Amino acid sequence: MRLILDTEANTLTLDDAGKIKTLDLYSKEAFENISRQWVRVGWNQKYQYTFSWMGRPVIQLPEDVLRLQEVIFRLQPDLIVETGVAHGGSLIFYSSLCKAMEKGRIIGIDIEIRPHNRAAIEAHPLNDRITLIEGSSTAPEVVAKVKTQVRPGDTVLIILDSNHSYSHVFDELEAYAELVTPGSYIVATDGIMYDLADVPRGVPAWTTDNPTLAARDFAAKHPEFVIEQPAWPFNESDLEHNITHWPGAWLKRRLVAEVQI
């Protein structure tokens, strides 16, 4: 695909193997095409590795973080479970939201929590709501430990951000989906991998080995879940789709009445 951006003519021309389409540069469709390339180039340049939240690195596209905030505020979850800890920035982000809402606890799971990251998380003033569990997110003993932290009546939100291979994400979905409250989500992050297989830092196998396909296949197997981008609570534009590293990530657990229909 070739994109030709002409700021004098105010056009964006798409050349897909000789099939030419010219768009108004300031149109919705042009924005979506430019955004896709911006995300791909930004990912290759490690743009997502340039942010922090209250002193801890948070390796996410800011768009995804803001959209996640919208969901957390609407759901008011009692428990947020995240697989993949890294530097702990996401955990601190969730904890800051929970503190502002005056409710909520966070569990962070990682196969290896490096000592310097653990020390920084535990020393952070927002650590009081966070529980760290070291071990494979799919290990039965780890899953069992998480289940003991779920209290009767809890609203539970789960974010999967550890090993992003198809098989691991599918196994995580199978392991944790039962904990998700009807109306809440289990989020299979970083499915953008399928669209990064051909960039310089990409891997060709990502075209099929990615979280987006794992989420799709899981939803096909489990009709109580549906892939559904959460609605934007505010929108005065014609736009409808997230600019995201998480395409097809939001698996919503249907309400009982919806499943029966």
Euclidean distance between CA atoms 244 and 187, whole angstroms:
13
pLDDT value of residue 260: 56
- Residue at token pair 């979280």: 211
Our CA angle for 54, 154, 158, nearest 5°, is: 55
Return the structure tokens found at 174: 């199978």
Euclidean distance between CA atoms 167 and 175, whole angstroms:
12
Bridge partners (DSSP) of residue 156 are 79
Average pLDDT, the chain: 97
Q: What is the 3-state secondary structure (H, E, C) of 128-173?
A: HHEEEEECCCCCHHHHHHHHHCCCCCCCEEEEECCCCCHHHHHHHH
Mean pLDDT of 215-226: 98
pLDDT at position 259 over 80: no
pLDDT at position 40 over 90: yes
Chain-centre distance for alpha carbon 226: 16
pLDDT at position 219 over 90: yes
Euclidean distance between CA atoms 73 and 99, whole angstroms:
11
pLDDT at position 261 over 60: no
Q: How many CB atoms lie within 10 A of CB 153?
A: 7
DSSP conformation letters of 172-199:
HHHHHGGGSPTT-EEEE--GGGGG-TTS
Euclidean distance between CA atoms 60 and 52, whole angstroms:
9
- pLDDT tens digits for 100-121? 999 999 999 999 999 999 999 9
Bridge partners (DSSP) of residue 16 are 19
pLDDT value of residue 174: 98
> Side-chain half-sphere of 119: how many Cα atoms within 13 Å?
3
Mean pLDDT of 48-58: 98
pLDDT at position 99 over 70: yes
Our CA angle for 83, 163, 118, nearest 5°, is: 50
Model confidence, pTM? 0.95
Which H or E run includes 64? helix 62-75
Q: What are phi and psi of 252, to 5 degrees?
A: -95, 130
